[in-house]
Amino acid sequence: MKVPGSGLHIDSPAWPLLQALISYWGVTDANGNVGGTTIRCGALALEPSYANHALKILSGPAAGQIRDATIHPAGTDTVTVVEAFSNVAGAAQQITPGTLFVILSKTPAIAEVAALTALVQALMLDVGDASTSVLGSIWNILGDPAVDLATSIAAIAALLNAQLVLTEDSGTLLSTAAEQNVAADVAPAALFKPLTVKINLDNMLAGDTTIIRVFDRITAAGNLEQVDLQTYAGADGGLADGNKVIYVILKENRWGFAVTLQQTAGGFVNYDWEYLDEE
């Protein structure tokens, strides 16, 4: 076998085996793309298409790697592979001039999988007969593996996308004599699940009084109506046993809610808060 561009010949008793395993042996003479998915060799322009073969790099940072060749128009010097060649760091490796490579006669994995899929489908059509078999055709029982698998994957993806995702918002509110929103969503786009509003009363002192209210809207055209009111007074809001944080537990919601804070006595202070929901 002649090695293009080198003037060398391979003379070996194993020559028939080499002919069977290797379709082309070459040396690149131009840069492939920076993404590592092409090689270029001028001599390939004189060859038939090697698409659907396997290409192996023999020298350089990507030496030893084999990739499925998917594109090589006859009469061109460029072969495109399905997956980028990579270097020792795992990064894409551009194939530069002077790189030794071989194109293998072996059918690559892409074509093998396609051929196997076609064979399985043909076998499934041949096994069983719905008109004579109690079990019926395996094809009718299991369905088209290609179509049904894709449908199943799409259905699973849709279910995952439909799952509510936990989200969080937080901040600090300086109280005033006016009622202020701590957390609110008065016009949600769809059904969602508000979970909890946490409010830290650690800055409250003796003489302070704070009112926490919860409102809910249960129809699209309805008003936010009060569903709960709690009053906290004194240091730490009067909480016992060293507790400083209150939890306002919320319910599933479609049309909106609000949790408000109003300080009615004492000096105005900061209230840290956190709101958790699933959307």
| Together in a domain, 87 and 188 | no
Residue 172 pairs in a beta bridge with 272
Give me the number of domains the chain comprises: 2
Query: Which one-letter amino acid corresponds to residue 146?
Result: A
Residue 103 included in any domain? yes
| Together in a domain, 195 and 103 | no
Residue 119 included in any domain? no
Model pLDDT, residue 258:
95
Residue 138 included in any domain? no
| Together in a domain, 201 and 100 | no
Model pLDDT, residue 267:
95
From 94, 109, 124, give the residue that closes a domain: 109
Residue 235 has pLDDT above 60, yes or no: yes
| Mean pLDDT on 199-228 | 96
Model pLDDT, residue 279:
74
d(CA 263, CA 212): 9
Domain harbouring 252, CATH code: 2.60.120.380
Tens digit of pLDDT for each residue in 84-101? 999 999 999 999 999 999
Which structural domain range is residue 53 located in?
2-109
Residue 118 included in any domain? no
In what side-by-side order are the strands of the sheet with 54-57? 22-27, 100-104, 54-57, 66-71, 78-81, 38-40
d(CA 162, CA 111): 36
The confidence band for 165, taking pLDDT boundaries of 50, 70 and 90, is confident
Model pLDDT, residue 112:
64
H or E element at residue 108: none
* pTM of the predicted model over 0.85: no
* % residues pLDDT > 70 (the chain): 74
From 109, 128, 148, give the residue that closes a domain: 109
Residue 270 to residues 170, 182, 223, 237, 261: CA-CA distances in angstroms? 13, 12, 29, 13, 11
Are the beta carbons of 279 and 165 closer than 8 angstroms? yes
